[in-house]
Structure formats: structure tokens, C-alpha cells
Amino acid sequence: MALPERLGAARDIVIETLQSRRGRARAELLMRTASGRALPVGISTNVLMHQDEMTGVVAVFQDLTEVRDMERRARRNETLAEVGALAAGIAHELRNGLKPIAGSVEYLQRELQLEGEEAQLIDLIARESSRLNKFVTDLLAYSRERDLALVPVDLDDQLRDVVNTLAHDPRRGSDMHVTLEGGPGAAWVSMDPEQMHQVWLNLASNAMEAVGERGTFTIRWSAQADGGVVVDFVDSGPGIAAEDLPRVGEPFFTTKRGGTGLGLAIAQRIVERHGGVLTLESETGRGTTARVTLPGAAAPVAQVA
Ligand SMILES: Nc1ncnc2c1ncn2[C@@H]1O[C@H](COP(=O)(O)OP(=O)(O)OP(=O)(O)O)[C@@H](O)[C@H]1O
Ligand SMILES: [Mg+2]
């Protein structure tokens, strides 16, 4: 038998076909690539006969990585649809409570003319109640699969807005350095700006929460030769444990106290609806990179000159 031992179960299936003289319709195996990555493989075998004599076995292998990825995404979407239905039920109630809170705070802000720390505190209440309101609204919109309102957006402008928002975020550590790198030139992306803004904020929140008091967080974008763009959120946080990595992005998977575990799932769904891809790369102790790849758009005519 010339097949090497390291083929493991695939070798066993070929041997079994040889011995039983019967092909195998379809088996699935988990193999490893040379670099150690798990590789799901489909294998089917057929016997070659010549005048009642078996002359060989043909084994057909298929890399199932993409199929498995698609199945995983479909499962996630199903869970998200259930979440959406649940969210729709409670969002109404929650928004009814948030509205008078936001209104009262706005009134107090106007009437009390607070200064210093007190003004900051009331700002925080105002900001957080509107953030919660937005979250609930988004979840609701999400469950209804709102159509994307696509317009060309200057990516650098949009990401600069995100960085400016982060500058005032109370979660930002005192020694955390946030930078935006991009270009050269501008990149126009056809997107629903509100929904993509949500993506950037979710990824930025994770990066900031990972970095904590001290460290770096860089948002880096670059235009690709095919007109698409790549946006990396690179943080110097503790990274994601190898055993957690496969579950990260599943709805409700969280390692945080008070986390809902929806941030990445929502981001992933929005990116996918834009025809893009969201991937995470992380190593314990070395930080995490969340990468969003999006198809590009032509610059709007009025902006070209
Ligand atoms: N940049 C990162 N560094 C380290 N761990 C991360 C990072 N991004 C995501 N994770 C891990 O993935 C989990 C899921 O992230 P996700 O954003 O979906 O939910 P969450 O941040 O826990 O809660 P929320 O719904 O409030 O966003 C996190 O709890 C954390 O364990
Ligand atoms: Mg999060």
C-alpha cells in the first residue's frame, strides 16, 4: 500500500474500498493542513474494473471549508432571526421607557446649566440613553431586515467620525492611543452609512474593552486593486483564547460581565449584507485584528473634480 500513514482516515477508506471492492458514496473527514489548520474534507471512492478484475480505486477529495463556513453562517442567521423576533417584542416597551428619560435629561441639561463634573455626568446619561435607544432601534430594524440604503461614502471621513466619537467615550483608558491610518487618496464605498457606522462602533467597542487602561488601538484602511477596501481594527489587548475563537461571533457568546454577545454577530450580518466579509485574527497575548473587506464604489460625480 503506497498511501502514507499520515493520510489517516482517508487511507482507511481507500483500503476499505480495495478490500470490499465497493465504492463509498460520501464520507467526511477532518484532516489537517501542513500548517496545522483543521480541514474538513469530503471523500468518495469508486472501484475501477476491467473484465471483472479490479484494477484500481479512484478517490475524489473535496475541500469542504467553504461549505462548512456557509452552514455555520446559516445557523447563526437562524439564531439571529429568533433573537430579532424576541427583540421586536421587548423593544417597544424599552423604547417607551427610554423616551421620557431622554426627554427629562434634555430638560435638565437646559435648565440647570451644570458645569464641570456634573455637566459631564448629565452628558453621559444623555449619551447612554440615546445609545440604548439606538441599540434597541437597530435590533428592531435588524429583525425586520431593513433594506440597505446604499450611498457612496468617503470611508476616511466616516472612520474619522468614529475616532472622534471614541475620544469622548468613557470606556477609553487614560493611556490608550487611538489612531487612524489610511490612504493614500480617498476610498469610496457603497454602503448604508448608519448600518456600517454600527459595525465600526461594535468593532471599536471590542477593541477598547480589550485594551483597557493602556495600549494601542489602530484603525487602518486601504484600497485594493479591485476597487474594494480593507479596514483593520488592530488592538494590543490580551487577544482571544484559542478555545474561544470558534465561538466568537455566535449570538450571545460573551466573556464579558454585562456583555450581550451580539456585537460581532450584528456586525458580521451587516457586513455580509454589503457583500463583504468580517474575519478575526487573534493570538493570546498579542492582540486582535478584526478585518472587514468591502466591495468599493465609484466616487460620486460631484466629488470627483
Ligand atoms: N478585540 C477583541 N479582543 C479580545 N476579545 C474579543 C475582541 N473582540 C471580541 N472578543 C471576544 O468575543 C466575544 C464576543 O464579542 P461581541 O462583540 O460579539 O460581544 P460582547 O463584546 O461580549 O458584548 P456586546 O454585545 O456588548 O458587544 C467577547 O466577549 C470577547 O470574548
Ligand atoms: Mg462587543
- Tens place of pLDDT per residue across the chain (305 aa): 577 777 788 888 888 998 998 888 788 888 888 887 888 888 889 888 888 888 888 888 888 888 888 777 777 777 777 776 677 777 777 877 888 888 889 899 889 989 999 999 999 898 888 778 767 766 665 565 667 899 999 999 999 999 998 888 877 888 889 999 997 888 899 999 988 998 999 999 999 999 999 999 999 999 988 889 999 999 999 999 999 998 998 877 889 876 778 889 889 989 999 999 999 999 899 999 999 999 976 555 544 43
**Is 305 part of any domain?**
no
- Least distant ligand from the CA of 290: 1
Gyration radius from the chain CA atoms: 25
Measured by CA distance, the residue closest to atom 11 of ligand 1 is 248
Round to whole Å and give the CA distance between 292 and 207: 14
- Cα distances from 65 to residues 30, 34, 37, 244, in angstroms, run 10, 15, 11, 19
**Is 304 part of any domain?**
no
User: Which of 143, 163, 194 is at the close of a domain?
Assistant: 143
CB 112 within 8 Å of CB 119: no
Contacts of the segment 66-75: beta carbons below 8 A, 24+ positions apart: 67/40, 68/40, 73/268, 73/272
* Ligand 1 centroid – CA 262 distance (Å): 8
pLDDT of residue 189: 92
CB 273 within 8 Å of CB 194: no
Residues 162 and 257 in one domain: yes
- Least distant ligand from the CA of 212: 1
Residues 133 and 155 in one domain: no
Instruction: Indicate which CATH number applies to the domain containing 47.
Output: 3.30.450.20
pLDDT of residue 300: 53
* Ligand 1 centroid – CA 249 distance (Å): 8
CB-defined site of ligand 1, < 6 Å:
202, 205-207, 210, 235, 237, 240, 244, 248, 253-256, 259-265, 288
pLDDT of residue 230: 96
pLDDT of residue 304: 43
Round to whole Å and give the CA distance between 147 and 265: 18
pLDDT of residue 181: 95
User: Which of 143, 171, 186 is at the close of a domain?
Assistant: 143
Collapse the DSSP code of 270 into the 3-class scheme (helix H, G, I; strand E, B; otherwise coil) and give the result.
helix
Q: Which among 169, 206, 252, 279 is the best mutation to test ligand 1's pocket, defined by most ligand atoms within 8 Å of the CB?
A: 206
Q: Is the peptide bond before 100 cis (omega within 30 degrees of 0)?
A: no
Q: Which among 253, 254, 291, 292 is the best mutation to test ligand 1's pocket, defined by most ligand atoms within 8 Å of the CB?
A: 254
* Ligand 2 centroid – CA 262 distance (Å): 7
Atom of ligand 1 nearest to the CA of 255: 29
Domain count, the chain: 3
